Amino acid sequence: MKAMIINEFGGSDVFTATELAKPEATAGHVVVKVKATSVNTVDTMIRQMGEDLAPLSPTLPGVLGMDFAGVIDSVGEGVIGFAVGDEVYGCAGGLADLQGALAEFMLADAKLIAHKPKSLSMREAAAIPLVGITAYEGLVRAGVSQGQKVLVHGGAGGVGHIAVQLANYFGGDVYATGGEQSQQALIEELGATAINYKTESVADYVSKYTNGAGFDPVFDSVGAGNLINSFEAAALNANVATTVSMVELDLTLAHFKGLSLHVVFMLIPMLHNHKREEHGEILAKLAEIADAGKLTPIVDKEEFTLEQVGKAHDRLASGQAIGKVVVSV
């Protein structure tokens, strides 16, 4: 099979086209003919940082690419609910010892996949898994429910634009931050109230939209230093979920507000073979939400072939992409 491998870690030029043996279906796994794969920030980080990101980085030569949509080519022993020819999607490789989606075929644990949303194209479906699972897990852990005032930081980003739609689906009154006019327009399009964090202070928008009470929950897809803004924006005893917490912070404000902090790291099931079936269940739920017309991923207009994956990584790194960068295989 055709694949793009990396023989070293580094810039976007490290990808090399090669022929690899097609994987065979093992017990509990399926082989998927990959139709599309999307690029996530973590893919570019693994490519660049290599062993500095252990245990995420694969042994070289490696095949990256976590998200995919495709068609089941073969089914291993003990797999229930999937058959040859089924259209599926998932996040099931591209790190550690798991071959990724930058190839014509990939082996995937059946627990990590679900049937593709019928209403979405392969490219759209491939844009969902990592960001969709992340947004869903964060909002559910933060206890999102009907009628709450929900704040999403980074509402036009990969995770953020999905979180906005899911928060709406769960019945929240949704607000989201974005610094550019195009980001604010997208946030409004997705059914949330846009907040320009460059011109409005946290105190201003907390006063304006919550009468000073604060938001609950707060979903922070920016994280790190921005968590201080999340703590400031949160209501008393509120829940804050974040995707980026590798940072040293003063938690005094969180203490005096009695906040609960939920850190979402969705790679745990793949890395540690821990509760993988939960990811399959979330993907099935996301497909249901998408087919109900309540979830549509934004896909960047630039298209890339498998051989152009280096350019796809550059596109994501440029910051110019609107929506998820997707590679067609």
161-216, pLDDT tens digit by residue?
Answer: 999 999 999 999 999 999 999 999 999 999 999 999 999 999 999 999 999 999 99
The per-residue pLDDT for 162 is 98
Structure tokens at 27: 């017990």
pLDDT of 321 strictly over 90: no
Q: What are phi and psi of 47, to 5 degrees?
A: -60, -40
Amino acid of residue 9: F
| CA 184 to chain CA centroid, nearest Å | 20
Residue-range domains of the chain with CATH: 2-128+271-328 (3.90.180.10), 131-263 (3.40.50.720)
Q: What stretches of 21-90 show up as alpha helix (H) in DSSP?
A: 41-49
Please indicate, yes or no, whether the overall pTM of this predicted structure exceeds 0.85.
Answer: yes
